[in-house]
Structure 1
Amino acid sequence: MERLTGRLVQMYGNIVSFLRKCIFYILSVGLIPNHIAFIMDGNRRYTKRLNLMQGAGHKVGYSALMSMLKYCYELGVRYVTIYAFSIDNFKRSPEEVQSLMDLMLDKIEELLREESIVNRYGIRVYFSGNLKLLNEPVRLAAERVMLATAKNSKAVLSICVAYTSTNEIVHAVRESCEEKWDEITLLNSSGGYVPDESDHLIKVTDIEKHMYMAFAPDPDIIIRTSGETRLSNFLLWQSANCYLYSPSVLWPEIGFRQFLWAILNFQRIRFYFDRKRKQL
């Protein structure tokens, strides 16, 4: 009986996978987004709604994330970014922060396993943010994953931890100023250079190359669950011309239907965003 049940489950899984590939084949006739970002909102509300133990919603949310990553890479989306942990999240209770750090450590180490989604799809992983704020075990694990996946080239996963967009912008401006200061010092020592008001010492390109997210193009779609339409200090610099999709489901509840709807809406209105980008 168990063997028969296992075969039926496997058969059902194969049928679902085949149908999904057919749908993706049809979608590929239109423009496929190059970069999708996710704000994974609603894990704690999911826990409270179902009266689960603390942290259970985040564990279910991790399974939802694996499904979203699989859909993205099967469709041909090259860049995926997730908002995993904001700098503001450090203001939560020490017990909750420690629980999230423990879960993060466990899931980061899971990415190193041979059968992980990272190895299955040839994904290069970046951890973006002020990583110095992370505790040492999590920071070292993140560094190991980035080093282990550095040669992967089929797709890119950016995990924003200890991140806010304002922190990213301040970091980029500071780095740009330090770089230009060295340049000005060198010019002064060699030729007595004195900048005037017409000089643009720091340009947009200078700031952009020092962003945590400098390795990735701007997102085409940002998906935030729970029906919220706020960006919550996420990719503010990069999201001037992207489609924001806010399904009402909580993050652990997100599924293929919401993903499909996001892609269809993006394909429907992409001409508007293309026109806006050309005007910049």
Structure 2
Amino acid sequence: MRKRSRKIVARIIGRLWRLFRRWLFLMFSFGPMPQHIAFILDGNRRYAKKHNLKMGAGHTVGFNSLVAVLRYCYELGVKQVTVYAFSIDNFRRKPEEVKGLMALMKEKIDELLDEDTIVHKFGLRINFWGCLHMLSEPARAAAERAMAATANNTGPVLSVCVAYTSTDEILRAIKKSCSKKTAEGCLRFTGDPVRDGACGAIAVADLEENLDSADCPDPDILIRTSGETRLSNFLLWQSTLTHLQNPLPLWPEFSLRNLIWAILEYQRVYPYLEARRRSLAKKHN
């Protein structure tokens, strides 16, 4: 009887919490809302050390935080979320740690594809950016399954950066652009950026078409948790007019309160950012 009563109470509390979120998010919608938020998921290992957890446990808690934050973002109307999950530089960690993270990545990707997850609730489309060939075979296969399974979804987009650095992304975009121009027989340079774009040499637009983020707008907000102020080679090309934030909580501790504060900070500086965007657009035109 007590167990049943607890379940009823839990359901009531859950419904009240969902109603409160809807009211809160409705209030936020009267201000400028970010369409794309990027996250550097920093602090998983420090969280595990802080709470005396075994290796990898912090990343498991971090995944649960990610699912909660994604839910809040999509309920708020954010259309794109990009997360920095695993850098190319992270492969320098101890082999056993890398192996464990690859196994965890495969497990959590598979979990996302299960029924009754945020993927199905929001019609989520999942992208993976980076050098997927560097992943373990099971993790790479899981990533490819997730992209194929959600390719036709029309809801929000989750882009996961794995085996990724921004400089590698830019380098790959240059190589792709050069290969395409060479195949067309029109790759040449004059030294004039305007004429180069017109006569076949590599232009800014060519690079942007070949970046991992080609179909994605630049992020409005980039959040790195744990108080760190470095971009760590993440979205360097795409963050020219992005509002950068570095809240103190470790990633597993990042909560709805922190997300709300981040959006309030974005809304505070939005007039300045929008003026800068218009100014740059005018220069390019």
Distance (Å, rounded) in 1 between the aligned partners of 2:230 and 2:208: 23
Question: Which residue of the partner structure matches residue 215 of structure 1?
Answer: 215
Alignment map for 1:32-51 (pairs within 5 Å)? 32-51=33-52
Give the counterpart letter for 1:227 in structure 2.
Answer: G
Q: Match of 1:54, SS? A: coil
The sequence identity of aligned pairs, in percent, is 52
Is the aligned partner of 1:86 residue 2:92? no
Which consecutive segments of 4 or more residues in structure 1 shift more than 3 A? 194-199
Is the aligned partner of 1:111 residue 2:112? yes
Across the aligned residues of Structure 1 and Structure 2, the Cα RMSD in angstroms comes to 1.3
Query: What is the TM-score with the length of structure 1 in the denominator?
Result: 0.95
Question: Which residue of the partner structure matches residue 263 of structure 1?
Answer: 263
Q: What's the CA shift string for 1:108-161, capped at 9, x where partnerless? A: 111211212111100110011111111111111111111110110111010110
Distance (Å, rounded) in 2 between the aligned partners of 1:99 and 1:209: 35
Question: Which residue of the partner structure matches residue 231 of structure 2?
Answer: 231
Q: What's the CA shift string for 1:199-218, capped at 9, x where partnerless? A: 41111000001001112100
Question: Which residue of the partner structure matches residue 274 of structure 2?
Answer: 274
Query: What is the TM-score with the length of structure 2 in the denominator?
Result: 0.93
Q: Quote how far apart the aligned CAs of 1:279 are.
A: 2.0
- The number of aligned residues is 273
Distance (Å, rounded) in 2 between the aligned partners of 1:206 and 1:260: 36
Instruction: Report the CA distance shift for 1:178/1:5 in structure 2 as closer, same or farther (over 3 A).
Output: same
Give the counterpart letter for 2:46 in structure 1.
Answer: R
Distance (Å, rounded) in 2 between the aligned partners of 1:172 and 1:23: 41
Alignment map for 1:3-152 (pairs within 5 Å)? 3-152=4-153
Distance (Å, rounded) in 1 between the aligned partners of 2:279 and 2:206: 21
Distance (Å, rounded) in 1 between the aligned partners of 2:219 and 2:112: 23
Distance (Å, rounded) in 2 between the aligned partners of 1:195 and 1:42: 45
Q: Quote how far apart the aligned CAs of 1:183 are.
A: 2.0
Distance (Å, rounded) in 2 between the aligned partners of 1:41 and 1:174: 30
Instruction: Report the CA distance shift for 1:46/1:195 in structure 2 as closer, same or farther (over 3 A).
Output: closer
Question: Which residue of the partner structure matches residue 283 of structure 2?
Answer: none
Structure 1: state its 5+ residue gaps.
188-193
Q: Identify the range of structure 1 (268-277 vs 217-226) with the bigger mean alpha-carbon deviation.
A: 268-277
Distance (Å, rounded) in 1 between the aligned partners of 2:76 and 2:86: 26
Q: Match of 2:84, SS? A: strand
Q: Match of 1:57, SS? A: helix
Give the counterpart letter for 2:259 in structure 1.
Answer: F
Question: Which residue of the partner structure matches residue 243 of structure 2?
Answer: 243
Q: Quote how far apart the aligned CAs of 1:195 are.
A: 5.9
Give the counterpart letter for 2:265 in structure 1.
Answer: N
Structure 2: state its 5+ residue gaps.
281-285
